[in-house]
């Protein structure tokens, strides 16, 4: 299997890793280069006395390096894969340390399959019921405290609330964490960012804050009425609160088989975790899917298909209405079938889809939209936007605008991004059949798939 340079750079956890990886992508810096099938390896001089040993499996992609970096993949792994992408590394007999890594991966895969086939241990149903009830009681108490807190905010007024320091929000978030409602805590911790929004943003900070508080209140109210909701909707509420979905529950979920276009990767830091989101669109079903993985320095993120590839196989969707979050089932990654953006619509149709999603789950923060035939330009209020004959979206960050305009070159483009009711945050763009990743920072979009 081979990856393009753009697909390899898309695996980088951040912009600094991408640049550092490009600095390591010089064959002259490496020694002992070799490959065995999809596995490539090499050694490179670092700050230590001994060179770092780096190995990567391009079919994952997965990698390992002896450097002390906590990022995954590290700059050396990115550099090694870029060396191979520029000029395929010659076949060779794997050295002992590479062979051991390959055996370890094979052994872990076999062990995982064996565990999945083994009969589960007897379930302590009484103990489970007791633990479930204990959590329900904690969450109920946390919801009551949240109701009082929200009522107090409304009585004081949002203008007063805007002067509160971060510790004010963090105290409430901490109480929600203690009440085993981490999903609600995440929403409260996001409030200071809305309060500090620049006056020149797409929406006034007060309006954005009011909307976020309203969504939080609706979610809390829905949590108290789970017995009145349809099963999938109730499951979505529980997931938004922070209840986990067990492996057994996911194993029982049906898989949706399709040719899934991998549109974009997004990597964010959440406390001490790295959260990676992979966005996919079904070429036949038109379904949108969000696969989220979390990793730490000691537990790197699992390999996933690169942006610009297609995943041919099944995804299983988490309980919820509307369905969005999913996990990979059986399947394989390969070259994309088409350069088009699957399921792309007009602006008006996208807004109707967003309204439908809100009607089913009004606490949604952001919703993925796929748009076709857009023109980029300045709006009447001076903001930057993308639109067609049916309507227009304001772009969330004007810093994205010049790089997007440079790639669009005045022509129509397709956009994929997240819409929050005020503005669109672009994640990927298709221009002249080429798929580009749109970085979070102010830089030129990265070509991840050529036409």
Position 202 scores a pLDDT of 45
Judge whether residue 200 has pLDDT over 70: no
Q: On the CB side of 45, how many CA atoms lie within 13 Å of its CA? A: 5
Position 399 scores a pLDDT of 75
Domain end marker among 241, 265, 284: 241
Q: In sequence order, which residues have a C-beta less than 8 Å from that of residue 173 and are 6 or more positions away?
A: 185, 186, 188, 189
Mean pLDDT of 348-376: 95
Better-scored residue on pLDDT, 334 or 285: 285
Position 306 scores a pLDDT of 85
Terminal-residue alpha carbon distance, the chain: 19
Same domain, 66 and 86: yes
Judge whether residue 428 has pLDDT over 90: yes
Position 46 scores a pLDDT of 85
Question: Rounded distance, CA 129 to CA 215, Å?
Answer: 31
Q: On the CB side of 194, how many CA atoms lie within 13 Å of its CA? A: 23
Domain end marker among 304, 335, 366: 335
Q: In sequence order, which residues have a C-beta less than 8 Å from that of residue 302 and are 6 or more positions away?
A: 62, 293, 295
Same domain, 87 and 149: no
Position 2 scores a pLDDT of 67
Judge whether residue 123 has pLDDT over 80: no
Residue 122 belongs to a domain: no
DSSP secondary structure letters along 196-231: T--TTSSS-HHHHHHHHHHHHHHHHHHHTTGGGS-H
- The neighbour count for residue 229, using CB atoms within 10 Å, is 16
Same domain, 326 and 230: no
Same domain, 48 and 91: yes
Note down the domain range covering 402. Answer: 354-449
Same domain, 263 and 227: no
Percentage of the chain beyond pLDDT 70 is 90
CATH number of residue 377's parent domain: 2.40.50
Question: Rounded distance, CA 288 to CA 261, Å?
Answer: 10
Position 192 scores a pLDDT of 85
Average pLDDT, the chain: 86
Residue 110: pLDDT band by 50, 70, 90 thresholds? low
Residue 149 belongs to a domain: yes
Mean pLDDT of 154-177: 88
Position 162 scores a pLDDT of 78
pLDDT digits (tens, 9 = 90+) for 330-357: 898 888 887 778 999 999 999 999 999 9
- CA 47 from chain center: how many Å? 33
Question: Rounded distance, CA 445 to CA 148, Å?
Answer: 45
Closest CA to 280 of 253, 301, 308, 255: 308
Identify how many contiguous H helices and E strands the chain contains and give both numbers.
14, 16
Position 103 scores a pLDDT of 84
Position 225 scores a pLDDT of 92
Mean pLDDT of 394-419: 88
Question: Is residue 108 classed exposed, middle or buried when 0-12, 13-18 and 19+ CB atoms within 10 A define those classes?
Answer: exposed
Q: Which two tokens stand for residue 244?
A: 């986990």
CA angle 246, 248, 251 (to 5 degrees): 115
Same domain, 146 and 73: no
Position 108 scores a pLDDT of 64
Backbone angles phi, psi at 407, to 5 degrees: -75, -40
Position 32 scores a pLDDT of 93
Better-scored residue on pLDDT, 126 or 309: 309
Residue 365 belongs to a domain: yes
Judge whether residue 178 has pLDDT over 50: yes
Judge whether residue 296 has pLDDT over 50: yes
Same domain, 224 and 131: yes
Question: Rounded distance, CA 30 to CA 12, Å?
Answer: 20
Judge whether residue 236 has pLDDT over 80: yes
Same domain, 101 and 70: yes
Judge whether residue 8 has pLDDT over 70: yes
Q: Which two tokens stand for residue 246?
A: 């067990």
- The neighbour count for residue 15, using CB atoms within 10 Å, is 14
Residue 424: pLDDT band by 50, 70, 90 thresholds? very high
Judge whether residue 315 has pLDDT over 70: yes
Position 299 scores a pLDDT of 61
Better-scored residue on pLDDT, 204 or 378: 378
Same domain, 234 and 259: no
Residue 9: pLDDT band by 50, 70, 90 thresholds? confident
Same domain, 131 and 236: yes
Judge whether residue 194 has pLDDT over 80: no
Judge whether residue 270 has pLDDT over 70: no
Position 199 scores a pLDDT of 43
373 φ/ψ sector (left φ>0, alpha ψ -120 to 50, else beta):
left
Least confident of 5-14, 79-88, 136-145, 272-281: 5-14
Residue 346 belongs to a domain: no
Position 117 scores a pLDDT of 53
Q: In sequence order, which residues have a C-beta less than 8 Å from that of residue 196 and are 6 or more positions away?
A: 205
Residue 187: pLDDT band by 50, 70, 90 thresholds? very high
Same domain, 289 and 214: no
Same domain, 231 and 331: no
Report the number of distinct structural domains present in the chain: 4
Domain end marker among 241, 274, 302: 241
Backbone angles phi, psi at 360, to 5 degrees: -90, -30
Among 93-107, 164-178, 204-218, 298-312, top mean pLDDT goes to 164-178
Residue 441: pLDDT band by 50, 70, 90 thresholds? low
């Amino acid at each position: 299997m081979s990856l393009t340079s753009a697909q390899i750079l898309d695996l980088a956890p951040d912009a600094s890793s991408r640049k550092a990886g490009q600095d390591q992508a010089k064959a002259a810096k490496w020694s002992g280069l070799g490959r065995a099938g999809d596995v490539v390896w090499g050694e490179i001089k670092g700050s230590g006395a001994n060179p770092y040993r780096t190995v990567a499996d391009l079919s994952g992609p997965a990698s390992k390096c002896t450097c002390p970096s906590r990022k995954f993949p590290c700059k050396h792994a990115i550099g090694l894969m870029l060396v191979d992408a520029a000029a395929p590394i010659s076949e060779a007999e794997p050295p002992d340390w590479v062979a051991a890594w390959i055996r370890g991966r094979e052994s872990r895969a076999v062990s995982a399959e064996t565990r999945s086939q083994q009969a589960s241990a007897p379930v302590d149903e009484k103990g489970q019921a007791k633990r479930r009830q204990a959590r329900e009681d904690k969450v109920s108490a946390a919801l009551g405290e949240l109701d009082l807190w929200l009522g107090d905010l409304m009585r004081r007024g949002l203008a007063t609330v805007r002067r509160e320091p971060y510790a004010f929000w963090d105290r409430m978030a901490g109480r929600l964490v203690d009440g085993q409602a981490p999903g609600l805590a995440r929403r409260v911790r996001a409030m200071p960012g809305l309060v500090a929004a620049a006056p020149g943003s797409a929406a006034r900070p007060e309006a954005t804050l009011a909307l976020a508080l309203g969504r939080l209140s609706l979610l809390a109210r829905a949590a108290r009425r789970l017995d009145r909701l349809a099963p999938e909707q109730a499951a979505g509420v529980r997931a938004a609160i922070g209840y986990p979905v067990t492996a057994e529950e996911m194993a029982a979920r049906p898989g949706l088989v399709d040719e899934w276009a991998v549109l974009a990767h997004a990597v964010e830091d959440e406390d001490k975790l790295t959260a990676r989101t992979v966005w996919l669109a079904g070429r036949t079903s038109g379904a949108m899917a969000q696969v989220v993985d979390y990793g730490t320095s000691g537990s790197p993120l699992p390999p996933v298909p690169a942006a610009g590839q297609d995943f041919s196989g099944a995804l299983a969707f988490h309980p919820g209405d509307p369905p969005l979050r999913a996990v990979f089932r059986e399947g394989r990654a390969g070259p994309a079938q088409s350069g088009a953006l699957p399921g792309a619509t007009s602006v008006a149709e996208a807004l109707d889809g967003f309204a439908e999603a809100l009607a089913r789950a009004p606490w949604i923060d952001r919703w993925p939209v796929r748009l076709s035939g857009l023109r980029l330009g300045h709006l009447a209020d001076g903001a930057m936007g993308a639109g067609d004959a049916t309507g227009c979206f304001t772009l969330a960050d004007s810093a994205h605008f010049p790089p997007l305009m440079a790639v669009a070159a005045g022509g129509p483009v397709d956009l994929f991004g997240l819409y929050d009711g005020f503005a669109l945050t672009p994640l990927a763009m298709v221009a002249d059949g080429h798929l580009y990743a749109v970085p979070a920072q102010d830089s030129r979009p990265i070509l991840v798939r050529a036409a």
